[in-house]
């Protein structure tokens, strides 16, 4: 059994979805990982990891837009409002989505459907540096 | 350390929850899996995997109904609307729930509470064929 | 490869978030776990596991409050209403969040960001006893 750890670092520029599929595939390829579990965690509580459609950019726009309307950036709605109008909505959006993804690697390939991509979902307005922990256990 | 891969294929007929617990238990039983991690991924972005109550069918009805109201099938709300009025809502429901489940297997049994079942949550209206990737790593 | 299983048991007193980070860290410390996957599952369908900010208690208040408004405790909205006005909303909140967390352990430490804590999100009104299954696989 082998284990590999790696951190993918993404710079974000505002709310929305950022495709990092290629970084994950590179990690698998460079380390010649064959079969095993690949566990991803975003080390922040105002961004998420999700799997989404990688074909039409409108899907990403609509997703971001839906969450924007569902969780309004309105300080009057929240007690926690000292870190900016986007901070508490960011925590809520993080709870509504996911902070980790557990993927399978089979015969050197990440198990994903044809239309599935890996996305960091940024919930903050200002530019951020986001760490996505990658951890492989297997052969 | 052993690893096993398997695909469970489900036919769905409209939005709602489809219990696949027995398929997963069969996979564990047939391969004589004892202790380890069982990672499940649905290879689509318009269906989810969730754990829910397996006792009262009304729970499944109410769940589907809640998501239907929360994410309306109304093309005017979305830019991505060429694949049917249910397509963009399906992607959003997928983001609001989960595309994977990571389970533990202990002494030959999947670790689940008494009232917990494994469900595919279908978000499309038309009949679909859904693949649920099963991957075991352990002993 | 080693595997360890453990159950953390929490008593809850009403809806809201309960920090169990220290129980998980203790499990890692006491068993001298070094590198591996730590899989957590809550064995109930009316409570969730989420990672959230551990700094300002107002964040926890706002989170609980948001979900309370998003999923009203109003029996008229649901077919499943015999187990109390909070039961069906609890199942829905569970579906909107997560019933499991998969964490990485590296060099004896759970991989978490500075501001991340592990929370049980209780969705029932009455006091409950909740089991969080802990399962480690690694070295």
pLDDT per position as a tens digit, C68-109: 999 999 999 999 998 999 999 999 999 999 999 999 999 999
pLDDT in tens, B25-79: 999 999 999 999 999 999 999 999 999 999 999 999 999 999 999 999 999 999 9
Cβ contacts of C133 on chain B, cutoff 8 Å: 104, 111
Instruction: Give the residues across from B52 on adjacent strands.
Output: B117
Q: Are A14 and A68 in contact (CB under 8 A)?
A: no
pLDDT in tens, A39-53: 999 999 999 999 999
Reading across the β-sheet that carries A47-53, which strands appear in turn?
A16-19, A116-122, A47-53
Q: Give the number of other Cβ atoms within 10 Å of residue B49's Cβ.
A: 20
Mean pLDDT for B79-103 is 97
Burial A59-83 (b: 16+ CB within 10 A, else e): bbebbbbbbbebbebebebbebeeb
Cβ contacts of A112 on chain B, cutoff 8 Å: 41, 43
Angle, CA A102 vertex, CA A38 and CA A139 arms, to 5°: 25
Q: pLDDT-derived band of residue B101, with 50, 70 and 90 as boundaries?
A: very high
Residue ranges of C 67-106 with Cβ closer than 8 A to chain A: 67, 70, 96-98, 101-104, 106
Q: What is the pLDDT of residue A57?
A: 95
Q: What is the pLDDT of residue B10?
A: 98
Nearest to C50 among A3, A71, A95 (CB): A95
Q: What is the pLDDT of residue A43?
A: 98
The interface predicted TM-score of the complex, written ipTM, equals 0.97
Averaged confidence pLDDT in chain B: 97
CA R_g for chain B: 16
Q: What is the pLDDT of residue C2?
A: 97
pLDDT in tens, A56-84: 999 999 999 999 999 999 999 999 998 99
pTM, full prediction? 0.98
Spatial CB neighbours of C111, under 8 Å, sequence gap ≥ 6: A41, A43, A133, A135, C103, C104, C105
Decide: helix, strand or coil at residue A5. Answer: strand
Which helix (H) or strand (E) is A101 found in, with range? strand A100-106
Cβ contacts of B53 on chain C, cutoff 8 Å: 45, 91
Mean pLDDT for A86-106 is 98
Q: pLDDT-derived band of residue B18, with 50, 70 and 90 as boundaries?
A: very high
Q: Give the number of other Cβ atoms within 10 Å of residue C25's Cβ.
A: 14
**Beta pairing, strands A127-138 & A2-13:** antiparallel
Averaged confidence pLDDT in chain A: 97
Residue ranges of A 1-60 with Cβ closer than 8 A to chain B: 1, 35-37, 50-53, 56, 58-59
Instruction: Determine whether C11 is exposed, middle or buried from the number of CB atoms within 10 Å of its CB (0-12, 13-18, 19+).
Output: exposed
Q: Are A124 and A15 in contact (CB under 8 A)?
A: yes
> Do A92 and C63 lie within an 8 Å CB cutoff?
yes
Q: How far apart are the first and last CA of chain C?
A: 5
Spatial CB neighbours of A92, under 8 Å, sequence gap ≥ 6: A71, C62, C63, C66
């Amino acid at each position: 059994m082998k284990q590999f750890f790696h951190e993918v670092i993404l710079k974000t520029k505002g709310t929305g979805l950022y495709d990092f599929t290629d970084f994950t595939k590179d990690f698998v390829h460079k380390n010649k990982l064959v079969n095993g579990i690949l566990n991803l965690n975003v080390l922040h509580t105002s961004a998420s990891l999700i799997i989404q459609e990688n074909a039409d950019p409108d899907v990403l726009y609509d997703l971001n837009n839906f969450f924007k309307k569902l969780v309004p950036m309105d300080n009057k709605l929240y007690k926690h409002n000292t870190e900016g109008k986007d901070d508490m909505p960011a925590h809520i959006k993080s709870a509504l989505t996911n902070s980790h993804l557990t993927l399978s690697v089979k015969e050197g390939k990440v198990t994903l459907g044809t239309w599935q991509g890996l996305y960091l979902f940024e919930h903050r307005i200002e530019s951020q540096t986001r760490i996505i922990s990658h951890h492989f256990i297997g052969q």
